[in-house]
Structure 1
Amino acid sequence: MITGLKPREATAIINSLTGGVVPKIGLQHITVGRSAEVDAFLQALSDVKNGHSMFKFWIGDFGSGKSFMLHLLNTVALKQKFVVANADFTPDNRLYSNDGKGVALYSAIMDNISIQTMPEGGALPTLLEKWIEQMLGETATEQNISLMDIRKEEHLPLVEQKIMKTINTITEVGGFDFGLVILKYYKGYITGKDGLKRNALKWLKGEYRTKTEARADLDVREVINDLNYYDMLKNFCKLFVSMGYSGFMINLDEAINLYKISTSTMREKNYEKILTIYNDCFQGKVNNLFFNLAGTKEVLENERRGLFSYRALRSRLETNKFETAEIRDFAQPVIRLLPLDHNEIFVLLKNLKEIFDFNFSTNIAIDERDIHQFMEELFNKPGAEEFLTPREVIRDFLNILSLLRQNPEIDKQQLFGDLQVKDERPVEMSLDDIEEL
């Protein structure tokens, strides 16, 4: 039996993997073959905790485990007391835009903020209230007022002064309005005005689209938009560190959607934004911030549409020329995820069988010899070498377990024989023939 497996984790693992997505919890129970990457990541986390910043690019073929790796990094970072957020690039979520797609990415990041006690996201209100309680406690100590009395209306100005003073010391661009909105959140929190809290949270998450609306609700001059959202992320990073967290880690997946931007000018603007963040991280212009970006080899290396099409990025992201499959350099910005070997996949499937049995309180008649036979059948199918991915192997295996659980009379050998390999790669992967608009 897998040590420490919880029923909630088992259910999340089986349901998510059957659906072809990565579970948000329990990844430690199904992690195989990535120890070197995790060890290097722990060292990078230590550097960021000590005040540095980092930008890592996780590159691998479709289905090679990029999304899994980002979720695994989440699990590791949360245990190191980082605030973590995840977002996917989509046609409507980008790093740069002039029509709201940049701030849409920011809103997705803020929606998915996680801490160790809330690993599935939605932790921003909890963090704000924790910080407010910290401000209340510090003000009470400084003013020699009891923790009970400091909440009284007569002491509101003292706490407000403390909040604004603290915000001013930890923020830079946009700090004034940022502080005013947190002040509004504090007033809503302390007086029980939930509407005021909701409006403040709406502003902080970048959901106000006009200054007029924000001014009417919160009496502030600005809103978070495509141009200033990155500054707000840096402000939040400083706020989280002031609360005692190690740093702020932001994971950005599905970089193929930047590669697919049809106009070269807009695509280059997005790559320029990556360069800006990259330079800030490695030149010491920002502290305790960790960006991870996941994409395919095509996204990185395509000289017409990929990151290498932007000369300044290419010079920074070219792989160590002395690296080989056996001799890896995990300290460089680009980490290439190699496919799991057959032994690692065997261990993974064996673990999944145990998790499946635990989740459904059953004992499916599949032993190690059957797992070997399943793998032999699948990996010897036509097209397996070119198209087969860990995602498809896992899903096929879980689907067979599901059928056997509900229909124990079925011949498992027949199920193994019916396995097929399909090309699951998205058709958009090859875009060189698309004309620029």
Structure 2
Amino acid sequence: MKLTLHAHEASKIINALRNGVAPVGLTENLIFGRQRELTEFNRCFSALKNGESIVKIITGEYGAGKSHLVHAIKNLALQGDYIIASFQVNGGFRLNKMDDLYYAIMHNLYMKGAHFEKTSFNEIFDLWIENLQTAPFPNQKRVEINTVCQEISKYNMNFARAFLMFMRGRIQRNQEMQNVTTSWLTGEKNIPFELKQKYDLIGHVDKTNTLDFLKAFSKLIHLLGYNGLIVFIDELDQIISERRDYRALAYNNLKHLIDLSASGEMAHSMFVFSGTPNLLSDYEKGFMSLEALSQRLNLPLDPDVSDPRQTVIHLERISEDAILSLVHQLIELYQIQDEPLDKMPSPQDVLRTIDASNLKTTRHVVTKAVQYLDTFLK
């Protein structure tokens, strides 16, 4: 694949790889040996357009290429006009509360053209509102907004009511109305009572209505013309180190998401989790600790069977041919950047010099190759 990058983009990729991380927004230039996985995710994207819901869990050792693959999938999703949410399990988010999941999704949104900068809730509606403002028929704006509200009211009436007030605030340029309704719709709970009463907002997001809100939001963005919602949650293995009760709640929530997806209740939505193989191998604290979850994930995995269509996708090190192609592309990146190589080694020479066959992970191969190629810079 011939690269068509600017010099500064090539330098950005090389610097990211030099530090052992995936180059955000540019990963598609270095994806080798993962065609089966990418084909499967393209299949999933087509299914989302048709109203399906899917859960995928990507596992692999540190350095196996999880982050690289996930970033490439994010790029594909954004280019395909999906709204994505991206965040990770940490001290503030443990997946043990569904309302925390909703809050994390609504505060970590990204959309096409944002260059991996977070998108505000308001910005998702900009194009739709612009089209409404220029509608050829005087009452089209009102009819279309009412139609959308009627559709999302099937999931939660309070959500639909808040969204209607949000739209009024946008159209009337009432900043307070926009701010209050946006806070309510995105899961904020500490909204003063008098402001909620002023704008006819009832209750707040909690464990009893979170899934209804999530279904309503997923339906909403599809009605706006996006192809669906894809949620990426990294560092899922952090759950293993949590308290037993938190861990059990998190795994039960994961099981519940799988059930909702399989039943078709979460239309036009996808959840992509990623983490280390401890999730699969730790019988005491991993997925196997909850039998209902392990059964749904078809665990333990058969080491002789690798099928990306399954819920769990376990990544091994890419093939030698794929590594050779990767290093070839890396050398080309060096030639594109402002500081080209003084001498052009062959990919075979690079792999032989760094003793690639004895390096355990793809990340080790790449970082060692970059270290070696840096010695040829003018």
Please indicate the TM-score interval, normalised by the length of the shorter structure: 0.7 to 0.9
How far did residue 216 of structure 1 move? 7.1
Q: Spell out structure 1 runs of 4+ moving beyond 6 A.
A: 320-323
Contact 2:288 2:299 in 1 (8 A): no
Q: Pick closer, same or farther for the CA change 1:352–1:116 going to 2, 3 Å.
A: same
How far did residue 338 of structure 1 move? 1.6
- 1:276 equivalent in structure 2: 256
Q: Does 1:130 align with 2:111?
A: no
Q: Does 1:143 align with 2:166?
A: no
How far did residue 88 of structure 1 move? 0.8
> What are the superposed Cα offsets for residues 186-214 of structure 1, whole Å, 9 maximum, x if unpaired?
34433444454344433333344356386
- 2:54 equivalent in structure 1: 54
| Cα distance in structure 2, aligned partners of 1:285 and 1:93 | 24
| Cα distance in structure 1, aligned partners of 2:339 and 2:198 | 53
Q: Does 1:168 align with 2:140?
A: no
Alignment RMSD: 3.0
How far did residue 283 of structure 1 move? 1.2
Query: Could you list the runs of 5+ residues in structure 1 that have no partner in the other structure?
Result: 145-149, 151-158, 409-437
- 2:83 equivalent in structure 1: 83
> What are the superposed Cα offsets for residues 366-402 of structure 1, whole Å, 9 maximum, x if unpaired?
41154123331x554xxx4xxx322233233334444
Contact 1:28 1:72 in 2 (8 A): yes
Q: Pick closer, same or farther for the CA change 1:209–1:393 going to 2, 3 Å.
A: farther
> What are the superposed Cα offsets for residues 139-177 of structure 1, whole Å, 9 maximum, x if unpaired?
x63737xxxxx7xxxxxxxx3x7535422313444442x
| Cα distance in structure 2, aligned partners of 1:344 and 1:213 | 61
Q: How does 1:46-125 map to 2 (within 5 A)?
A: 46-97=46-97, 103-123=99-119, 124-125=121-122
Q: Taking every aligned residue pair, what percent have the same amino acid on both sides?
A: 25
| Cα distance in structure 2, aligned partners of 1:31 and 1:217 | 52
Q: Pick closer, same or farther for the CA change 1:173–1:51 going to 2, 3 Å.
A: closer
How far did residue 279 of structure 1 move? 0.4
Q: Pick closer, same or farther for the CA change 1:90–1:255 going to 2, 3 Å.
A: same
How far did residue 267 of structure 1 move? 0.9
**Aligned partner of 1:315: which letter?**
Q
Q: Which of 224, 227, 248 is 1:243 aligned to?
A: 224
- 1:342 equivalent in structure 2: 320
How far did residue 363 of structure 1 move? 2.6
Which secondary structure state, in structure 1, belongs to the residue aligned with residue 239 of structure 2? helix
Q: Pick closer, same or farther for the CA change 1:20–1:209 going to 2, 3 Å.
A: farther
Task: Calculate the TM-score normalised by the size of structure 2.
Answer: 0.87
Task: Calculate the TM-score normalised by the size of structure 1.
Answer: 0.76
Which secondary structure state, in structure 2, belongs to the residue aligned with residue 330 of structure 1? coil
Question: Mean Cα displacement is larger for which, 242-251 or 124-133?
Answer: 124-133
Q: How does 1:422-433 map to 2 (within 5 A)?
A: none
- 1:203 equivalent in structure 2: 184
Q: How does 1:188-227 map to 2 (within 5 A)?
A: 188-210=169-191, 212=193, 215=196, 218-225=199-206
| Cα distance in structure 2, aligned partners of 1:117 and 1:391 | 29
Question: Mean Cα displacement is larger for which, 9-18 or 82-91?
Answer: 9-18
How far did residue 63 of structure 1 move? 1.9
How far did residue 120 of structure 1 move? 0.9
- 1:260 equivalent in structure 2: 241
How far did residue 236 of structure 1 move? 1.6
**Aligned partner of 2:201: which letter?**
V
Q: How does 1:220-369 map to 2 (within 5 A)?
A: 220-225=201-206, 228-262=209-243, 264-318=244-298, 324=304, 328-368=306-346, 369=348
Q: Which of 179, 185, 209 is 2:160 aligned to?
A: 179
| Cα distance in structure 1, aligned partners of 2:215 and 2:339 | 47
Which secondary structure state, in structure 1, belongs to the residue aligned with residue 75 of structure 2? helix
**Aligned partner of 1:354: which letter?**
E
Which secondary structure state, in structure 2, belongs to the residue aligned with residue 300 of structure 1? helix
| Cα distance in structure 1, aligned partners of 2:77 and 2:172 | 35
Q: Pick closer, same or farther for the CA change 1:134–1:236 going to 2, 3 Å.
A: farther
Q: Does 1:42 align with 2:38?
A: no
Contact 1:258 1:267 in 2 (8 A): yes
| Cα distance in structure 2, aligned partners of 1:304 and 1:244 | 44
Q: Does 1:393 align with 2:374?
A: no
How far did residue 276 of structure 1 move? 0.9
Q: Pick closer, same or farther for the CA change 1:181–1:402 going to 2, 3 Å.
A: farther
> What are the superposed Cα offsets for residues 237-275 of structure 1, whole Å, 9 maximum, x if unpaired?
10111122221111111001112212x222111111111
> What are the superposed Cα offsets for residues 282-341 of structure 1, whole Å, 9 maximum, x if unpaired?
1122211111111222112322111111111111112597772xx532222111112113
Contact 1:111 1:121 in 2 (8 A): no
Q: Give the number of equivalent residue pairs.
A: 376
Contact 2:77 2:84 in 1 (8 A): yes
| Cα distance in structure 2, aligned partners of 1:374 and 1:229 | 55
> What are the superposed Cα offsets for residues 29-68 of structure 1, whole Å, 9 maximum, x if unpaired?
1000001111122222222221111111112122211222
Q: Pick closer, same or farther for the CA change 1:11–1:204 going to 2, 3 Å.
A: farther
Q: Pick closer, same or farther for the CA change 1:106–1:356 going to 2, 3 Å.
A: farther
| Cα distance in structure 1, aligned partners of 2:340 and 2:281 | 47
Question: Mean Cα displacement is larger for which, 296-305 or 108-117?
Answer: 108-117
Contact 1:319 1:332 in 2 (8 A): no
| Cα distance in structure 2, aligned partners of 1:216 and 1:360 | 59
| Cα distance in structure 2, aligned partners of 1:344 and 1:335 | 19
Question: Mean Cα displacement is larger for which, 346-355 or 110-119?
Answer: 110-119
- 1:426 equivalent in structure 2: none
